[in-house]
Amino acid sequence: MSIRHSLLSLLAEGDRHGYQLRQEFEARTGGTWPVNIGQVYTTLGRLCRDGLAEEVGKQDDGSVTYRITPAGKAEVDTWWSRPVPRAAPDRDETSIKVALALSSPGVDVLAVLETEREEILRALQAYTRAKTRIPDHPTGGELARLLVLDQQIFTAEAQARWLDHCEQRLAATTQGSAR
């Protein structure tokens, strides 16, 4: 995930300290992806090194204020306007496990599918419960949290559908009959 572009997009709204960036990032993405402050400062260091941000002052407590540069603004604009690359998706452990189960002696593929499906349903139930705790007309951070929960629900559902599909394909293949 691009912490770099996320932080840069926040800097595009105005000068910030590192801890402000961390706080704002978490609040505005529904608290779903916590970042540690070390990660924030490492990223800020790289942004400065690459000429996308700069240090513009130091307060008495030693906290540094960062400002986006024109090159940084251009970089943010590009981030908003271009899709996130999907050419090389993250390795998905469930897919890998199912694929290997097919050819691993002594492993019951259907049992593997069922185990994965049970876990996904459990996660879906948890996301859904979390969703019911958000008010009907969410604002600000609540809306962000709701959208991010929706994303997790849709992703989990897609995974569950894929597992169902695997099972049906497997049944069709082993029975040798077209459905």
Partner 1 sequence: MTEQTTGDLLRMTDAGRVHHAGTPTEVHALRSFSLAVAPGELVAVMGPSGSGKSTVLHLAGGLDVPTSGEVVLDGVSLGGLSVRKRAALRRRAVGYVFQDLNLVPALTAVENVMLPRELDGVPTATARAEALAALDEVDIADLGDRFPEELSGGQQQRVAIARALVGPRRLVLADEPTGALDSLAGEAVMKVLRARVDAGAAGLLVTHDAQHAAWADRVVRLRDGFVVGTTGELVHGVGEAPAGVTGRVVGGHR
Applying CB under 8 A, the residues found at the interface with partner 1 are 108, 110-111, 114-115, 117-118, 120-122, 124-125, 127-128, 132, 153-154, 156-157, 160-161, 164, 167-168, 171, 174-175
User: Nearest distance from residue 141's CB to partner 1, in Å?
Assistant: 20
∠ at Cα 72 (71, 73), nearest 5°? 90
Report whether 67 contacts 59 (CB < 8 A).
no
User: Nearest distance from residue 151's CB to partner 1, in Å?
Assistant: 12
User: Nearest distance from residue 124's CB to partner 1, in Å?
Assistant: 4
Q: At what angle do helices 18-28 and 3-11 cross, to 10 degrees?
A: 110
User: Nearest distance from residue 177's CB to partner 1, in Å?
Assistant: 11
Which residue's CB is nearer to partner 1, number 42 or number 168? 168
Report whether 149 contacts 131 (CB < 8 A).
yes
User: Nearest distance from residue 95's CB to partner 1, in Å?
Assistant: 17
Residues 124-146 as b/e (b if ≥16 CB within 10 A, e otherwise) read: beebeeeeeeeeeeeeeeeebbb
Which residue's CB is nearer to partner 1, number 46 or number 122? 122
Which residue's CB is nearer to partner 1, number 13 or number 114? 114
**DSSP-assigned states of every residue in 124-171:** HHHHHHHHHTS-SS--HHHHHHHHHHHHHHHHHHHHHHHHHHHHHHHH
User: Nearest distance from residue 56's CB to partner 1, in Å?
Assistant: 44
**26 by DSSP, 3-state: which?**
helix
Which residue's CB is nearer to partner 1, number 27 or number 111? 111
Which residue's CB is nearer to partner 1, number 17 or number 97? 97
Which residue's CB is nearer to partner 1, number 40 or number 156? 156
- Amino acid in the structure at residue 177: S
